[in-house]
């Protein structure tokens, strides 16, 4: 790691914060000003030629933007807010980043240190509040602590299994002077971000894999976070083992890769779920066996030997017992595995996936993507997006039916193209995350696919889009319902639709109020042209697609059921 050591100079704590950000290569932050962080905003004003600040419409939006930015750029996202409500509004995004391992540094202002604990105006214990949802947090009360702590914050956020770090800075520390010199953090003695690969673990796993007759790979976001896409592809191609993905692993391997067999989990593909309980060796790579992936653990892959490639020791045997854990950076373990694993044909085994896919196609996919009924489906909207982006867009999704449909049917040819709130399931994530995603990958098409419910949770960020001109494409799949909850009410609560029907506003008028070009599609015949107009526009664009009100997402593994009990209808 490069060491940048500047000559010591007397500056304020607030200026030191900005200089630390610059030293970390940050050129863009998201935030919202307020009393306790004004000294830092004052410095932002002075440094605006070097450091862009995007003024969001709510602090939650700042965190999701920082997340979207981190997910497409691979860099650390930075969000900033004032004390009290500013800080508490960050919490949802921080929790989201924690559970989805997104590198993020949040900086909050705090009341002056002599007021701490006095219930001062806009004082809140954000360190206490954010502790369970941060990888690390720290309260700075002296300006002299700023360089070292900021360096540590970035190091911790990005290293090992990434995550969010919150740094709370009292107002007096922002005003105070310090002798500033910045040195990048190169290690923390109590923290070992990457376990050292043990070849004995690799060899034990290889022996199991080489003997396997029906092996299956399940990969997760670790492949993307570890920048291991190439190593992963080589491993898959060399071994010949069929591979399936978790929602956050999506896009690490191109959709049309012949060994990409689809998604596992609650609304994943039929074959991958059923064959989880038939494979003899399950090779899990950078994934954590979330309950939405495993269904009932007591009946999950009991017949299989589990190989688990993982960077975080706490994930080993947390939910599913790992017979062969390989603790290391997954790029390194994948290279070591590829060197040793013998290639396999697996013709019959792979045919099982294809057969199940044919069944799923006939019963579910065909109707979703090439409907013959009158009403529009979410699936056909995704197909139209695929067509006009040629599978080379970043698809940002919110949470619910549209998310599952988008992840099932969106096509990808490049990694870091799927941005969604997986672990926390944060409605309201997509619109701000798409803004950050676009800023993190300016040359790419960024399409936010959102439901009418989640869209209205952070709809105010249309203001940020208007003010910055960021060319995100927003597709609201509107069924006038909180669709996923309604689906559960239909299936498990005898159609008692408690508080899931939405009386929605005129979304097109709202977008136009923010001077965003907007269109509404209500009939099949309009869809293709509308999506084309949206994609070819070089400006922000809003498209409302009014879809069938009571469509359901299938296949589905009901909560608590086994992956073997996946339902096609």
Partner 1 sequence: MTENNRYTISIYSENNIGLLNRVSAIFLKRHINIDSFSTSQSEIQDVFRFVIVVEVTEDKVKKLVQQIEKQIDVIKAYYHTDEETIYQESALYKVKSSYLFEERQIQNIIKDSHANIVTVSPEFFVIEKTGFRSETEKLRKELAPFGLLQFVRSGRISVTKSKMGISELLETFKKNN
548 is a catalytic site residue: no
515 binds partner 1 (CB under 8 A): no
Whether 548 and 375 have beta carbons less than 8 Å apart is answered as yes
Distance CA 351, CA 230 (A): 25
Stretch that binds partner 1, among 74-82, 233-241, 316-324, 517-525 (CB under 8 A): 316-324
Q: Does 135 bind partner 1 (CB under 8 A)?
A: yes
Packed helices 330-340 and 199-211: angle between N→C axes, nearest 10 degrees: 50
Catalytically annotated residue among 135, 152, 171, 473:
171
Of 115-123, 270-278, 314-322, 490-498, which part binds partner 1 (CB under 8 A)? 314-322
Exactly one of 80, 150, 484, 534 is catalytic; which is it?
484
Stretch that binds partner 1, among 17-25, 137-145, 227-235, 292-300 (CB under 8 A): 137-145
Q: How far is the CB of 219 from partner 1 (least distance, A)?
A: 22
Considering only CA atoms, which of 32, 166, 167, 174 is closest in space to residue 113? 174
Q: Which of 117, 187, 469, 513 binds partner 1 (CB under 8 A)?
A: 187
Candidate residues 132, 298, 374, 499; the one interacting with partner 1 per rule CB under 8 A:
132
Q: Mask: binding to partner 1, 373-392, rule CB under 8 A, as x and -?
A: --------------------
* Nearest to partner 1 of 120, 127 (CB atom): 127
Q: How far is the CB of 444 from partner 1 (least distance, A)?
A: 34
Question: How many chain residues are in contact with partner 1, going by CB under 8 A?
Answer: 23
Question: Residue 25 or residue 132: which is nearer to partner 1 going by CB?
Answer: 132
d(C-alpha 211, C-alpha 267), whole Å: 31
The C-alpha torsion from 217 through 223 and 228 to 231, rounded to 10°, is: 0
Catalytic residue chosen out of the listed positions 15, 24, 59, 380:
59
Among 69-77, 315-323, 388-396, 536-544, which window interacts with partner 1 (CB under 8 A)? 315-323
Q: State yes or no: is 59 an active-site residue.
A: yes
Residue 284 or 484: the one with the smaller Cβ distance to partner 1 is 284
Asked if 191 is part of the footprint of partner 1 (rule: CB under 8 A), the reply reads yes
Instruction: Name the DSSP class of 189.
Output: T
Residue (132 or 525) nearer to partner 1, CB: 132
Shortest Å, Cβ 205 to partner 1:
20
Express the helix, strand and coil content of the chain in percent, nearest 5 each.
45, 20, 40
Which lies closer to partner 1 via its Cβ, residue 137 or residue 418? 137
Out of 11, 85, 136, 227, the only residue in the binding site for partner 1 (CB under 8 A) is 136
Q: 144 or 519: whose CB is closer to partner 1? A: 144
122 in active site: yes
449 strand-pairing partners: 397, 475
If one asks whether residue 117 binds partner 1 (CB under 8 A), the answer comes out as no
101: preceding bond cis by omega (within 30 degrees): no
Burial of 47 (0-12, 13-18, 19+ CB in 10 A): middle
Based on its alpha-carbon atoms, the radius of gyration of the chain, rounded to whole angstroms, reads: 24
* CA–CA separation, 256 and 267 (whole Å): 19
Give yes or no for residue 318 binding partner 1 (CB under 8 A): yes
Contact between 493 and partner 1 by CB under 8 A: the answer reads: no
329 binds partner 1 (CB under 8 A): no
Residues in the chain, overall count:
569
Nearest-approach distance from CB 123 to partner 1, in angstroms: 17
Residue 235, CB-side half-sphere exposure with 13 Å CA sphere: 29
Answer yes or no whether residue 188 interacts with partner 1 by CB under 8 A: yes
Question: Two tokens at 455?
Answer: 């869209």
Q: Are strands 177-180 and 9-12 parallel, antiparallel or unpaired?
A: antiparallel
525 touching partner 1, by CB under 8 A: no
The yes or no reply on residue 138 touching partner 1 (CB under 8 A) is: yes
3-state secondary structure of 50: coil
CA-to-CA distance for 130 and 521, rounded, in angstroms? Answer: 42
Cβ proximity to partner 1, 227 vs 316, nearer residue: 316
Longest Cα–Cα distance in the chain: 72
Q: How far apart are CA 504 and CA 497, in angstroms?
A: 17
Q: What is the DSSP letter of 495?
A: T
Q: Which is nearer to partner 1, 135 or 473 (CB)?
A: 135
- Residues ≥6 apart with Cβ < 8 Å to 436: 30, 64, 65, 66, 67, 68, 69, 70, 71, 72, 77
Binding site for partner 1 (CB under 8 A): 127-128, 131-132, 135-139, 156, 186-192, 312-314, 316-318
Q: Which residues belong to the active site?
A: 59, 121-122, 171, 484
């Amino acid at each position: 790691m490069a060491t940048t050591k500047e000559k010591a100079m007397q500056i304020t704590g607030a200026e030191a914060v900005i200089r630390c950000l610059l030293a970390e290569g940050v050129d863009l932050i998201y935030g919202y000003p307020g009393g306790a962080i004004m000294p830092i905003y004052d410095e932002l004003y002075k440094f605006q030629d070097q450091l862009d600040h995007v003024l969001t419409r709510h602090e939650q939006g700042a965190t999701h933007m920082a997340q979207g930015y981190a997910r497409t750029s691979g860099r650390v996202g930075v969000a900033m807010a004032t004390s009290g409500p500013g800080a508490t509004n960050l919490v949802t995004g921080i929790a989201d980043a924690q559970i989805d391992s997104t590198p993020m540094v949040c900086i909050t202002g705090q009341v002056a240190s002599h007021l701490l604990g006095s219930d001062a105006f806009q004082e809140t214990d954000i360190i206490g509040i954010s502790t369970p949802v941060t990888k690390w947090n720290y309260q700075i009360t002296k300006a002299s602590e700023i360089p070292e702590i900021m360096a540590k914050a970035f190091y911790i956020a990005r290293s090992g299994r990434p995550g969010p770090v919150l740094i709370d800075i009292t107002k007096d520390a922002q005003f105070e002077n310090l002798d500033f010199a910045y040195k990048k953090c190169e290690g923390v003695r109590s923290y070992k971000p990457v376990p050292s690969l043990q070849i004995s673990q690799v060899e034990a796993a290889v022996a199991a894999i080489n003997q396997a007759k029906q092996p299956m790979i399940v990969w997760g976001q670790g492949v993307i976070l570890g920048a291991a896409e190439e190593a992963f592809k080589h491993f898959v191609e060399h071994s010949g083992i069929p591979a399936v993905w978790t929602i956050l692993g999506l896009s690490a391997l191109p959709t049309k890769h012949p060994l990409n067999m689809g998604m596992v989990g609650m609304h994943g593909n039929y074959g991958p779920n059923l064959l989880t309980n038939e494979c003899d060796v399950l090779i899990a790579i950078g994934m954590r066996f979330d309950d939405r992936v495993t269904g009932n653990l007591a009946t999950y892959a009991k017949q299989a030997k589990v190989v688990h490639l993982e960077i975080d020791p706490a994930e080993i045997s947390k939910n599913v017992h790992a017979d062969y854990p390989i603790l290391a950076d997954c790029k390194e373990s994948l290279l070591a595995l590829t060197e040793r694993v013998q290639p396999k044909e697996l013709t019959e085994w792979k045919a099982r996936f294809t057969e199940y896919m044919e069944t799923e196609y006939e019963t579910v996919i065909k109707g979703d993507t090439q409907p013959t009924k009158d009403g529009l489906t979410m699936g056909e909207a995704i197909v139209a997006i695929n067509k006009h982006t040629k599978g080379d867009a970043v698809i940002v999704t919110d949470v619910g039916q549209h998310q599952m449909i988008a992840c099932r049917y969106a096509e990808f040819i490049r990694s870091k193209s799927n941005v969604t709130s997986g672990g926390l399931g944060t409605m309201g994530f997509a619109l701000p995350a798409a803004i950050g995603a676009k800023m993190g990958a300016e040359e790419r098409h960024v399409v936010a696919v959102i439901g009418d419910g989640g869209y209205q949770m952070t709809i105010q960020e249309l203001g940020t889009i208007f003010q910055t001109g960021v060319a995100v494409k927003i597709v609201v799949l509107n069924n006038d319902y909180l669709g996923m909850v309604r689906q559960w009410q239909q299936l498990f609560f005898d159609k008692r639709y408690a508080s899931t029907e939405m009386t929605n506003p005129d979304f097109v008028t709202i977008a136009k109020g923010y001077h965003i070009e907007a269109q509404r599609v209500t009939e099949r015949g309009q869809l293709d042209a509308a999506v084309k107009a949206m994609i070819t526009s070089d400006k922000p664009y809003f498209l409302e697609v009014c879809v069938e009100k009571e469509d359901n997402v299938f296949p589905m593994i009901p909560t608590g059921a086994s992956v073997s009990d996946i339902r096609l209808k």
